[in-house]
Amino acid sequence: MAKSPNPIDKHVGARLRMRRLMVGMSQGRLGEALEVTFQQIQKYEKGTNRIGASRLQQLARVLEVPPAFFFEGAPSPEPGRQTFAEPSANAYVVDFLSTSEGLQLNRAFAQIRDPKVRKRVLDLVTSLSATKD
């Protein structure tokens, strides 16, 4: 029976994917920069292969983020420990921003400079999400 990935490894992998997509880098190109295959990058992003400390440092350098970036919003490693945040809230945001649609929406929204227009876009999206078919 296959062992499921550790939640922290999955979180770090999702953050890796999100950042890679944010900078517009392919898995192949990232693999070349690290001298690993794109399949290895896929395994890192899925959390099936754990990222070692030196590799994490390399990833941070290539993707131009501090190593701590990969752990932001990570689930608590202590089972049963109570937290004040909703457990799925951070995972949902990371999952959404890891998609091409989420990244495109985020980039386009960030380019809107007028606060009134941003508010209207937010109102539109909110009303569309509340609409029932």
**Which pTM does this prediction carry?**
0.68
What span, in angstroms and rounded, lies between the C-alpha atoms of 63 and 86? Answer: 28
Domain residue spans of the chain: 1-72+86-98, 100-133
Give residue-wise pLDDT tens across range 56-99. 999 999 999 999 999 988 887 665 554 554 445 556 676 777 77
**Per-residue DSSP letter, 98:** T
What fold is seen in the domain 1-72+86-98?
434 Repressor (Amino-terminal Domain) (1.10.260)
